[in-house]
Structure 1
């Protein structure tokens, strides 16, 4: 192989490596964002469950147990 061919192959490999490194960084950022979103949604679900349990413990019952008003 000529030196020019080896140089071209080396440049191509370096470009591919740089591309893969950038892609790995981008995917890492996406995963970190998704982790934060999951944490936020988990907290919201916990709070909603707590509120639901408070409402149920307060004796308000479920909306299906409510009878329609007398004018119906």
Structure 2
């Protein structure tokens, strides 16, 4: 293998690795955005669940018979 062949081979490998790195960076970026979206959704659902739970407890307390019955 000549020096030129080795250099061409290394340049091809480097180009392939750079392309792969770009693809991986894009994948990580998309995953980070999705995680942020899911995190916001989780917080909204947790807040809604707490609101519904509090409302349910208030209704249950209003429907209880007083202790003297």
| TM-score interval (norm. to shorter) | 0.7 to 0.9
* Structure that is richer in helix per residue: 2
TM-score normalized with structure 1 length: 0.76
Larger RCO (CA within 8 A; separation ≥ 6)? 1
RMSD: 1.6
Aligned with 2:27 (options 30, 35, 38): 30
For structure 2, which runs of at least 5 residues remain unmatched after alignment?
59-69
Count of residues in Structure 1 that have an aligned counterpart in Structure 2: 58
Task: Measure how far apart 1:53 and its partner are.
Answer: 0.3
TM-score normalized with structure 2 length: 0.79
CA–CA distance in structure 2, aligned partners of residues 32 and 60 of structure 1: 42
User: Given the alignment of the two structures, is residue 53 of structure 1 paired with residue 50 of structure 2, yes or no?
Assistant: yes
For structure 1, which runs of at least 5 residues remain unmatched after alignment?
62-72
Deviating 4+ runs (over 2 angstroms): none
